Structures are given as structure tokens and as C-alpha cells.
Copies of this chain bind each other. A is one copy, B any other.
């Protein structure tokens, strides 16, 4: 099942200080092979068996804390994640891109080339983090 080369797993897991259990290696691979974002439920359905949901949630939490994945918004208020860009660090995620929720297929996309305003304060409010969330019709659904 491992399609991502082992070197990449070694390097990545070392970089992020993660233990190489078979489940977490598979989970990393799944993220690596997914073009868009994943929820716990979707992850669960992609593992044929023996992927306890608690393990999924704990792995996601651990991956997020280490800076390997990041949360993305979801229409139905689910926890949803995506691989981080290479610049991300455990305590400083650099996600200067917008997220797009398709109302047709319900998928969530990272629009990496839609850059965010870099405003640091507004009317006395100090801004640490700024997210842009769009809703509409994605490229694929548009052309159906």
C-alpha cells in the first residue's frame, strides 16, 4: 500500500518528530496522494479496516501540532485537514492562501495562489491570523 517512497517518509517523519507506525505512515501517504482536504470520516472510509477513529483523531492532532497538516474550514463544521506547505513550522503555520468550499460536490480546496491581505491591525484590533473562505462552484462542477 505504501506508494510514497520510503525516503520521503523517513525525512518527513524525522523533520516533524513523528513516530513511524504503519498507521501513521499510511495516513501521511493518504494526505500526500490527496489533491484536496480530508475529514476524519473520509480518512476512515479510505482505510479498508482497522483504523480506529480515536487513532485517526489522535494522529491528526499530532500531525497538526508538529506542523505537517493544518485545519481547513468545512461547511458542516467537521474537522478537516490538508498537508502543510513546506514553509510551515510546528509553531508557525504559513498559510497565506484562501480556502474554497464547493456547494455542489462539497469538497474543500486550497487556492494556493490567492494571496491574503497582510493587514496587521484594524481599528485597534490586533490581527494575528487572517483566513479567507469562499463558497461557490469549483472548476469541475462548473463544467458538468
Residues of A within 8 A of B (CB): 73, 77, 98, 100, 103, 109, 111, 113-114, 122-139, 142
Contacts and interface: CB of A to CB of B under 8 A. Distances in A.
A124 B113 CA distance: 13
B122 A114 contact: yes
A125 B103 contact: no
Copies in the complex: 2
A142 B123 contact: no
B134 A133 contact: no
Q: Majority SS of interface residues in chain A?
A: strand
Nearest to A130: B134
Contacts of A131: 131-135
A125 to B, nearest CB: 5
Contacts of A111: 122-123, 125
A121 to B, nearest CB: 8
Contacts of A139: 123-125
A133 B111 CA distance: 16
